Structures are given as structure tokens and as C-alpha cells.
């Protein structure tokens, strides 16, 4: 018997069609006013689904998805981890915070090795996103590491910052830079040398994901490692200059900057140095890690590859062991819904475009890449457009929907899952019209898909992983400010059952969350959920 076996659900009547699960990334439930891009969009299909009897709201942030507290927003990674795991696991922010606060972090082999390189004459370099968004990083964790470096006698530290403007205010970089500079000044007491060396916007350099745009990583490599790029006396001057040159530019799109002294970069990375990536979230740190670690590397010309000790905050891909060295032990999620469905012999199909392909596969499967059982599973990636998403807010909805309809009509798959990225990716741009179009594109895709599911006699299950498009702006001191980050809003959950085989009703659970979805899907497929899963959102009517 498989380690991941499922028992048949008593009284269940099988049906011929598939269960089709759709994640509308970033489509939350907002205030339903002029600030709510989902509400403003023309969405007749979502409106109709919201009136179905099998409809409820799910919590998709804070402790419900393993974040430290309920004022922490959810994100696509923790959302898909939780959806696929059926239980709540402590996530990157919480794992790293607990490790740092307890002191275990500084007892680890990777930290000690980095300090040894410093004591042997090398520089310790920190590279990562500078913000308190708590999605990829938290500035508090960086400051803790810097202060520990000073306490352990590290003489020379350089910080290479990526400005955010996506998970936090779109022009908030100067405040974070000031906080960092104050700590660096304090750490430099006694003749030490701690400074910001380079930087740029997260969506312009370094933080590409899913190999969508390796040119971003190349620009980051040239900036951080080689010390090549537009030069400035300090980071604040760089940001202020870019703001002045383009009144519309936001932190996430700032061009590169290199800090120089006497005409030379103060922080190029050299042989014998240690490099620590302080992002705890993996998707936008994997490619940088590969650039440092891969011997056989052909994504761009590195020109010079320094012999350094490189470590990530966490291991960003456990299957491919990226990076080889890491500061905090990774989350190990076993017993995901995919493992159970493969154990039960259920055939499945998963699809998204590049921007969220890893979410519906890697993160869904508990931070494991590749197939669990190639004989039962098929994954499809639709290449994303390499443009800012407010320019093409429809993204690849049509192509994803075409493939979904073909999968439904093939009759080969009992469980089909997909991610429509639009609400999140376009929501991050803060462009109101583009956000509305993005949500409308998803609604149109659902209309086409639901017709196919109905014809096949299946059922559709639709939800979101977190909010984003549901908040276009906030008002401070009477002034509207674009909101480009995730929200703390609940997300919709709805079932449209065309099979007519079984009668279900929504179970009363108090405050249900994303962790209740996996058990629900397993029940809909005709099995009892594992005992350690959070309870299903449905029960027999």
C-alpha cells in the first residue's frame, strides 16, 4: 500500500467529468467601492458564481497561511503551499524570524563559514530586497545579521539593495535606506567599514523568476558583482536622482546604481568574499543563486565569476539543491494533495503561464519541483509576455483557457488545476484600468471554461490565493495613493457542480482558510481526506 493512500468516501457516487480547480491569483473580496478593482470590473460570471449555494469566503493571510501574525499579508507562495498541503505550516518569514530571534541562526555552519571568510580578509556581502513587506524579506532580519557581524568582529560588509515598491509603498525606498544607513553607521564604529554598495529596482535587476527574463539577472550581476553601472555617491542620491528624472517611476522599476569613491566601485565582489542572499522567498532568488553557483552556466556572460562562499537565507529549491548552502533549514512539506492523489491513481493536469507556473506545480507540491508520478501527471507552462503587465493585462488567459478546455474534452484527467495570474501581476502595477481589464479577462476565461466543464458533466472549484486587485488605492491625509501590494482581504471560494451526482452543502467552520481547500477537493474526488488535514469546506447535504 502506498504511503499516501486514500479511503473511498462512503455514499459517494462517481461521475464522468473532471474536477477543475482554478486559482484566480490576487482576486480578493474588497470594500466593493471605487477602490476595489474587482468590484469595478465587469464580471457577470463571477457575480453569478457568488450567488451559488456552494459559496463562502476564505482567510488567505496571516496565521491562516503560516505567517507570523495576522497583520502579515498572504502571498502566492505561502498561498499555494497551504492550498496544496491541506494544513498550515510555518512559512519563510516565520521560520527565519524564529531562527534569528533564538540565536540558532548564528550557530549554523553557513553563517560560521561566512564569518570565517571575513576573518580571513574577505568582505561579507548581503544581497536582497530592502523592505518590511515580509513577502520576500524583512529589513529587521537584515539589520539583525548586520549587528551580529559587527558583534563577531567582521571588519568589512557591503549591502546590495533591491528597492521594493511592490509589497510596500511604491515610493518608499528612501525611508528603508535611511534606516539601513543608520544601522550601518552604528556597525562601523571602531574602524569597521559597513556600507551600501549597489542597488536597483526589483523588477529591473536581479529578481527575475521562472527564467522569464535572464537579462534582469545579468544587469544585477554586472551591478552587484562587477560594480558596473551608473554611479552615485550614495544610495539616497541614486533614488532621488531617478525620481527627479522620471516623475512616474516607482521603486520596483528603478535602474541600477553603483556607489563609487574616488571613481571606483566600493563593493565589487572579489575572490575570498562571502555572499549572503537575505531573501527568504525562493522564486526570485533562484536565478541569482545559479549565477553564483553553476559551473556550466550559459544564461549570460558572467565575464568574471569570483571564487566566493555563497549562501541563501533558505534553500530555494530542495529538489535541485539551490543553493548548496543556506542559513535556515527549509520547510519540508510532506503529504501534499498531489502525493495522495497520485497514491490513489488519480490522473491530473496542471497549467499556468510562466509567472505562476511554479506556483501551481512547485509550491503546490510542497516546494518540490518535477513530477510525483509521470504516468499520472502532466504539467504545461505557457510562456509569459516579457512586458510590464499593465501593457497587456489580459496576459495569457486565452492560451491557458484553450489548454484547459482541451484537457477537459480529452477525458484523460480526473483532476485539473490552473492559475490565472492576472489579478496579482497586473495588480502590482497599480494601474486602475489595467487591473479592471485583467479581472475581466479572467471572468471571460471562466465563461469559456465553465461551458466545457458543463458539457463534460464535471465540476469547477474556484478560489484565490490572496488579495491584490481588490484594492487600487488608499487615502492618506485626503490624498489617494496607489496600492500595489497584496491585501488582507478574504478571497472567494465557490463550487459549480454540473455532475448532479452528489449533494453537498457548505460546512460551518467559523473562519475557514486556504488550508481547508485540499480536503474539499479530495472529498469531491470521492475520497476521505487524510486525518491530519484541516476539515473540508463541504459536507453531504
Catalytic machinery residues: 76
User: Three cell numbers at 111?
Assistant: 553563517
Helical (H) or strand (E) element with 368: none
Radius of gyration of the chain (CA): 24
Burial of 71: CB neighbours in 10 Å, binned 0-12, 13-18, 19+: exposed
- Rounded to whole angstroms, the Cα distance separating 66 from 88 reads 6
Kindly state the cell numbers that stand for 413: 484527467
CA distance 390 to 359: 21
Three cell numbers at 432?
Answer: 486602475
Chain-centre distance for alpha carbon 340: 24
Q: Are 150 and 194 in contact (CB under 8 A)?
A: yes
How close are the terminal C-alpha atoms of the chain, in Å?
Answer: 32
Distance in angstroms (rounded) separating the CA atoms of residues 157 and 168: 26
Query: Which set of grid coordinates corresponds to residue 357?
Result: 507556473
d(CA 152, CA 382): 48
Q: Are 225 and 269 in contact (CB under 8 A)?
A: yes
For 456-495, b where at least 16 C-beta lie within 10 A, e where not — what string?
Answer: bebbbbbbbbbbbbbbbbeeeeeeeebbbbbbbbbbbbbb
Q: Output the DSSP codes for 294-312.
A: -SS--SS--S-----EEEE
Quick one: DSSP state of residue 257?
Answer: E
Amino acid at each position: 500500500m502506498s504511503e499516501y493512500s486514500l479511503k473511498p468516501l462512503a455514499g459517494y457516487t462517481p461521475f464522468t467529468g473532471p474536477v477543475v480547480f482554478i486559482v484566480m491569483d490576487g482576486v480578493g473580496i474588497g470594500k466593493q467601492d471605487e477602490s476595489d478593482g474587482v468590484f469595478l470590473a465587469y464580471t457577470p460570471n463571477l457575480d453569478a458564481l457568488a450567488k451559488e449555494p456552494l459559496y463562502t469566503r476564505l482567510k488567505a493571510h496571516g496565521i491562516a497561511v503560516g505567517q507570523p501574525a495576522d497583520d502579515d499579508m498572504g502571498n502566492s507562495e505561502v498561498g499555494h503551499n497551504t492550498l496544496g498541503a491541506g494544513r498550515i505550516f510555518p512559512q519563510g518569514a516565520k521560520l527565519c524570524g524564529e531562527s534569528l530571534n533564538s540565536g540558532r541562526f548564528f550557530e549554523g555552519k553557513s553563517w560560521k563559514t561566512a564569518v570565517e571568510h571575513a576573518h580571513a580578509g574577505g568582505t561579507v556581502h548581503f544581497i536582497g530586497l530592502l523592505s518590511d513587506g515580509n513577502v520576500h524579506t524583512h529589513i529587521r532580519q537584515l539589520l539583525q545579521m548586520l549587528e551580529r557581524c559587527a558583534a563577531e568582529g567582521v571588519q568589512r560588509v557591503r549591502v546590495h539593495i533591491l528597492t521594493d515598491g511592490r509589497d510596500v509603498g511604491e515610493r518608499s525606498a528612501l525611508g528603508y535606506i535611511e534606516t539601513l544607513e543608520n544601522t550601518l553607521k552604528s556597525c562601523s564604529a571602531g574602524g569597521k567599514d559597513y556600507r551600501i554598495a549597489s542597488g536597483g529596482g526589483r523588477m529591473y535587476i536581479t529578481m527575475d523568476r521562472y527564467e522569464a527574463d535572464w537579462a534582469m539577472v545579468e544587469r544585477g550581476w554586472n551591478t552587484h558583482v562587477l560594480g558596473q553601472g551608473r554611479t552615485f555617491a550614495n544610495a539616497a542620491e541614486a533614488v532621488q536622482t531617478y525620481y527627479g528624472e522620471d516623475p512616474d517611476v516607482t521603486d520596483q522599476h528603478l535602474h541600477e546604481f553603483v556607489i563609487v569613491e574616488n571613481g571606483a566601485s566600493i563593493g565589487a565582489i572579489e575572490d575570498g568574499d562571502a555572499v549572503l542572499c537575505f531573501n527568504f522567498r525562493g522564486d526570485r532568488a533562484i536565478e541569482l543563486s545559479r549565477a553564483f553557483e553553476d559551473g556550466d552556466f550559459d544564461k549570460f556572460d558572467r565575464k568574471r565569476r569570483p571564487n566566493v562562499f555563497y549562501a541563501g537565507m533558505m534553500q530555494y529549491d530542495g529538489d535541485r539543491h539551490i543553493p548548496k548552502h543556506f542559513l535556515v533549514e527549509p520547510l519540508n512539506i510532506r503529504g501534499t494533495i498531489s502525493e495522495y492523489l497520485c497514491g490513489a491513481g488519480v490522473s491530473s493536469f496542471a497549467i499556468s503561464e510562466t509567472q505562476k507556473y511554479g506556483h501551481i506545480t512547485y509550491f503546490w507540491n510542497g516546494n518540490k519541483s518535477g513530477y510525483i508520478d509521470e504516468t499520472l501527471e502532466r504539467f504545461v507552462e505557457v510562456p509569459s509576455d516579457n512586458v510590464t503587465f499593465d501593457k497587456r493585462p489580459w496576459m495569457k488567459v486565452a492560451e491557458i483557457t484553450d489548454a484547459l478546455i482541451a484537457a477537459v474534452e480529452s477525458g484523460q484527467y480526473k483532476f485539473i488545476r490552473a492559475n490565472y495570474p492576472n489579478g496579482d501581476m497586473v495588480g502590482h502595477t497599480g494601474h486602475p484600468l489595467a487591473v479592471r481589464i485583467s479581472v475581466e479577462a479572467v471572468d471571460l476565461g471562466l465563461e469559456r471554461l465553465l461551458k466545457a466543464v458543463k458539457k463534460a458533466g464535471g465540476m469547477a472549484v474556484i478560489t484565490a490565493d490572496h488579495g491584490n486587485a481588490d484594492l487600487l488605492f488608499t487615502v492618506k491625509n485626503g490624498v489617494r495613493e496607489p496600492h500595489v501590494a497584496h491585501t488582507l482581504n478574504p478571497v472567494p471560494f465557490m463550487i459549480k457542480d454540473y455532475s448532479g451526482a452528489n449533494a453537498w452543502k457548505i460546512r460551518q467552520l467559523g473562519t475557514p482558510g486556504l488550508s481547508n481547500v485540499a480536503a474539499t477537493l479530495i472529498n469531491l474526488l470521492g475520497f476521505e481526506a487524510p486525518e491530519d488535514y484541516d476539515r473540508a469546506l463541504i459536507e453531504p447535504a
